[in-house]
């Protein structure tokens, strides 16, 4: 009976393990990058969409395990979902006003390149995992959102650090950015624009909600970097007549960077389902938090 119990336990654990897989998506002599892939319990015959999730942490901390609940939720709803580790370039370096601008840019570049590598890995193994290569989304929180925005809109040839097999015509099906920002709105063009779900607290003093310096650094700071946050990106979507959704958390600070992914993943699921159905979005949801500060007071729609 004991042997039978142990055998049944092994089978159960094996079945569970098949739903979550830890995989190495890139390795060379000095670097090993891993991800955890979550798949639906019962895979359909046809290929399914994939979302690649990128954790936050200022490019110096954080871990991919923080995305487990989000990925499990999406896998339960018919998506393949992967949460990745990536290069924490700013570890033991300064990332605020007293840091170095060039180092900040490199942090974005390493993060974007790792996303490209993970995407390349899934394109190469799409049949193995039953993934539809035309339906790959990316999501991220804070630093992860900054990395994925640049992964979506940077020129891959000029910013690539490693070889990858992404076709020149490859575009993500859509992206989800939690308190993210991009260095230049002009990177987003009519040709490369993809549907975007953006959410941000308009009182964020770390990553600007609209357009301002990173950390609101004063001019002349060694780490001064202009960033265009969710509100500015949403305006760009409108200019280009694209598809997007913005959730503004009135008075909310950077603590809202993971709010939708962690607390309201159904919003993301609904967004991706609408994108895949071909629906165009242009919505701005204004959510009261009961908080207020000097930054959020500039936006009349919050009052």
**Which domains, ranges and CATH numbers included, belong to the chain?**
22-297 (3.40.50.1820)
Q: Identify the burial level of 287 via C-beta atoms within 10 angstroms of its C-beta, where 0-12 means exposed, 13-18 middle and 19 or more buried.
A: middle
Query: What's the confidence (pLDDT) of residue 100?
Result: 96
Please name the residues in contact with 302: beta carbons below 8 A apart, sequence gap of 6 or more.
202, 248, 250, 251, 286, 288, 296
- Name the average pLDDT for the chain: 93
pLDDT at 14 over 70: no
B/e letters for 92-106, b = 16+ CB within 10 Å, e = fewer, are: ebebebebeeebbeb
Digit-coded pLDDT (tens) for 234-283:
999 999 999 999 999 999 999 999 999 999 999 999 999 999 999 999 99
Instruction: Output the pLDDT for position 262.
Output: 96
Radius of gyration of the chain (CA): 20
pLDDT bracket for residue 298 (50, 70, 90) = confident
From 232, 35, 32, select the one nearest 138 (Cα to Cα).
35
pLDDT single digits (tens) 116-163 = 999 999 999 999 999 999 999 999 999 999 999 999 999 999 999 998
What is the DSSP pairing of strand 131-141 with strand 174-178? parallel
Q: What is the pLDDT of residue 204?
A: 97
Q: 51-85: per-residue pLDDT in tens?
A: 999 999 999 999 999 999 999 999 999 999 999 99
């Amino acid at each position: 009976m004991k042997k039978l119990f142990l055998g049944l336990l092994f089978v159960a654990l094996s079945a569970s393990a098949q739903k979550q897989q830890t995989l190495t998506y890139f390795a060379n002599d000095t670097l090993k990058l891993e991800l955890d892939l979550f798949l639906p319990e019962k895979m359909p015959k046809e290929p399914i969409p994939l979302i690649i999730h990128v954790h936050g942490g200022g490019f110096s901390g954080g871990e991919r395990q923080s995305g487990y609940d989000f990925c499990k939720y999406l896998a339960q709803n018919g998506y393949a979902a992967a949460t990745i580790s990536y290069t924490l370039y700013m570890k033991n370096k300064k990332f605020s006003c007293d840091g170095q601008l060039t180092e900040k840019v490199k942090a974005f570049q390493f993060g974007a390149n790792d996303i490209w590598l993970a995407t390349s890995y899934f394109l190469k193994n799409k049949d193995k995992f039953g993934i539809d290569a035309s339906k790959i989304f990316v999501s991220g929180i804070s630093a992860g959102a900054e990395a994925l925005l640049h992964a979506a809109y940077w020129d891959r040839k000029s910013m690539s650090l490693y070889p990858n097999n992404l076709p020149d015509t490859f575009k993500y099906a859509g992206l989800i950015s939690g308190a993210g920002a991009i260095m230049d709105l002009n990177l987003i063009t009519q040709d490369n624009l993809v549907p975007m779900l953006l959410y941000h607290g308009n009182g964020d003093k770390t990553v600007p909600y609209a357009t301002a310096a990173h950390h609101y650094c004063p001019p002349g700071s060694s780490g001064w970097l202009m960033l265009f946050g969710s509100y500015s990106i949403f305006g760009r979507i409108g200019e280009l007549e694209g598809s997007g959704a913005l959730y503004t958390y009135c008075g909310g600070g950077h603590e809202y960077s993971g709010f939708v992914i962690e607390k309201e993943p159904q919003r993301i699921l609904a967004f991706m389902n609408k994108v895949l159905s071909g629906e165009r979005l242009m919505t701005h949801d204004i959510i009261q938090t009961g908080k207020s500060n000097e930054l959020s007071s500039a936006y009349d729609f919050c009052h």
